[in-house]
Amino acid sequence: MDDFKSIVLNQTPLIDVRAPVEFLQGAFTLATNLPLMNDEERQKVGLCYKQNGNAAAVKLGHQLVNEGARAPRVESWAAFMDAHPDALLYCFRGGMRSKISQQWLKDSGREIVRLKGGYKAFRRYLIDYLDSLPKLLIKDDIKPVVVAGRTGSGKTLVIHQLNNAIDLEGLAHHRGSAFGRHATPQPTQINFENDLAMALIRQLETQPKQLVIEDEGRNIGSVNLPADVFDALKGGERVVVETPLAERIAITLDEYVVQAQNEYASLEDWIEFMLAAFGRIKKRLGGERYQRVLGLFETAMNTQQASGSTDGHQTWIETLLTEYYDPMYDYQMQKRQHAVAFTGSIDEVVAYLKNQS
């Protein structure tokens, strides 16, 4: 089976029988890692292959994955198939490991289809799709639209209300600023590209008139958009979200303080992260302003720890928005000088974009 597009559109569950170390390097969100060989076994077989050739490596593989190890692995695959009857199976190239796994399942009375070409072929399909995106947008007459606006204006809130939008920050698992890291790690670059390609495939399949994204730099935390994809998406017209300062402070407080604190195991862990984030922009803030913002943050934390209220955080948030992020935004807008198709509040921008789609 090599209809990769249908796998993406149907979100077909996948059994990945590669070793855990391979899965961690790059995988698909549709896949669950239920390995034929663990990392140690794979390493031994690989070494044997280099020293003694393929036949010896295959023989060693069978010896390592003996009857004692075989049964629980087949049971784990069978349990997954019970939960997901439409599941497919793959290894790295669609070769020996997936064939053995498929045969073991057949011996136990179960049939499963292998993914032709394995992980490598599916990954190649997704990368080729990303490479072809600029031409696809032109061919299908799909116009990219970029939602711009100041920090805290609610751009992500707009994205989440649209059916024809790609949430780049969601895919990157990062809010796109010095304070944007989540408590859990970002995906690897490979996984981000895989997820991005799948999201684009699903969107373009609906033949939208427009494809909406949030105004982001090419780098989102530790991952980055492929250059051609970035250029194709960022070349679209701009719509700008204009939100009053008080509302921007409230949005930022909710996202970067209230929600962020809930992600961490303890308040101390969040404080440690925030202090490191302040440190990352210390040079750009300047010494005096850095000390002032840090003082406001520490006062807010003392108030929160004493009363449980997060309202005190509004002071340092307002300072960062008006004295740091807004001047940066103004500079970037003057530098880029993109044509702006529409400007309005969160609700007005959502209504405008829905009317255009």
Per the structure block, which two tokens stand in for 168? 């780049």
Three-state DSSP at 145 gives strand
Contacts of 146 (CB under 8 A, 6+ apart): 212, 213, 214, 215, 233, 234, 236, 237, 238, 239, 338
Phi, psi angles (nearest 5°) of residue 16? -100, 110
Residues 6+ apart with CB under 8 A from 142: 136, 204, 207, 208, 209, 210, 211
Of 35, 63, 33, 36, nearest to 48 by C-alpha is: 63
Q: Helices 287-307 & 267-280, crossing angle to 10 degrees?
A: 170
Distance CA 154, CA 171 (A): 18
As a whole number of angstroms, the distance between CA 136 and CA 132 comes to: 6
Distance from C-alpha of 192 to C-alpha of 224, rounded to nearest angstrom: 8
Instruction: Classify burial at 336, counting beta carbons within 10 Å of its beta carbon; exposed 0-12, middle 13-18, buried 19 or more.
Output: exposed
Measured between alpha carbons, how far is 66 from 60 in angstroms, rounded to an integer?
A: 10
Catalytically annotated residues: 91
Q: Are 249 and 316 in contact (CB under 8 A)?
A: no
